[in-house]
Amino acid sequence: MGVGKSTVGQLLAGRLGVGYRDTDDDIVAEQGRAIAEIFVDEGEAAFRAAEKRAVRVALAEHPGVLALGGGAVLDADTRALLAGRRVVYLSMEVGEAVRRTGLDVARPLLAVNPRKQWRELMEARRHLYEEVATAVVPTDGRTPEEVTQAVLDALELKEA
Ligand SMILES: Nc1ncnc2c1ncn2[C@@H]1O[C@H](COP(=O)(O)OP(=O)(O)OP(=O)(O)O)[C@@H](O)[C@H]1O
Ligand SMILES: O=C(O)C1=C[C@@H](O)[C@@H](O)[C@H](O)C1
Ligand SMILES: [Mg+2]
C-alpha cells in the first residue's frame, strides 16, 4: 500500500508504450463507491470477492501494465493466475511506508496505528509477494523514475 504502484505503473506504461490499469480503480468504477466505503458497508470479505473477479477480468483483457491491490495475492486462485506472467514486487521499509501513506483515510487497513498494522500485514504477506514475483524491486531512497528504470532493468524489457 502506497509503495508507488500507480506512480511507477504509469511511468512504466509510458516508457513501454502500453496502457496502465489498476484493479482498485476497476472495483471503484464498477461499484461506484470508494474502497473504504466498500470495506465499511460490506466488509473485507465482500471486497476480496470483488477484487478476485476484477483481477481475473483485467488479466484476461488488459495487455499492458496492471497494478493489483495490495491484498490481491491473499487469494490462491489469483496467485495461480499470475504464474507465467511478469510480476514485480515493489518493496519498501516501514518508515518509508508511513511517510508515503501518511494518515490517508483512503486505506482502510491502515486507518488505525498504521506503523503496527503495516508491519503485521507485511509479516503475513511478504512470502506471498515473493512467491508470485518474478522480480523484487526495492523503492526506498529511489525516485519514481529510478524505480521505473530498475523495473525495466529487472525485467530486461526494451522501451517502445
Ligand atoms: N519512489 C517514490 N519515492 C517517494 N514517494 C513516492 C515514490 N513513489 C510514490 N511515491 C508517493 O507515495 C504516495 C503513494 O504512491 P502511489 O499512490 O503511487 O502508491 P500505490 O502503491 O499506488 O498506493 P495504493 O496502494 O494506495 O494504490 C504518493 O504520494 C506518491 O507520490
Ligand atoms: O493491502 C490491502 O489489503 C489493500 C490495498 C489497496 O490496494 C486496496 O485494495 C485496499 O485498500 C486493500
Ligand atoms: Mg495505487
Q: Give yes or no for residue 126 having a pLDDT over 80.
A: yes
pLDDT of 104: 55
pTM of the model: 0.91
Q: For 112-130, what is the HEC assignment? A: CCHHHHHHHHHHHHHHHHH
Residue type, 124: A
SS3 content of the chain, % helix, strand, coil (to 5): 60, 10, 30
Beta bridge partners of 66: 21
Which amino acid makes up residue 154? A
**Domain parsing of the chain, residue ranges:** 5-150
Distance CA 5, CA 21 (A): 10
The per-residue pLDDT for 97 is: 81
CA–CA separation, 96 vs 51, rounded Å?
26
Instruction: Report ipTM (2 d.p.).
Output: 0.95
Superfamily of domain 5-150: P-loop containing nucleotide triphosphate hydrolases (3.40.50.300)
Q: Which residue's CA lies nearest to atom 4 of ligand 1?
A: 143
Q: Check whether 103 has a pLDDT greater than 60.
A: no
Average pLDDT, the chain: 92
Which of 1, 3, 65, 139 for a ligand 1 pocket mutation test, highest count of atoms within 8 Å of Cβ?
3
Annotated binding-site residue? 48:
yes
Evaluated on CA atoms 58, 43, 74, 146, the torsion sign reads positive
**Confidence class of residue 78 from pLDDT cuts 50, 70 and 90?**
very high
Q: For position 102, what pLDDT does the model report?
A: 66
Residues 128-160 as b/e (b if ≥16 CB within 10 A, e otherwise) read: bbeebbeeebebeebebeebbbbbbeebeeeee
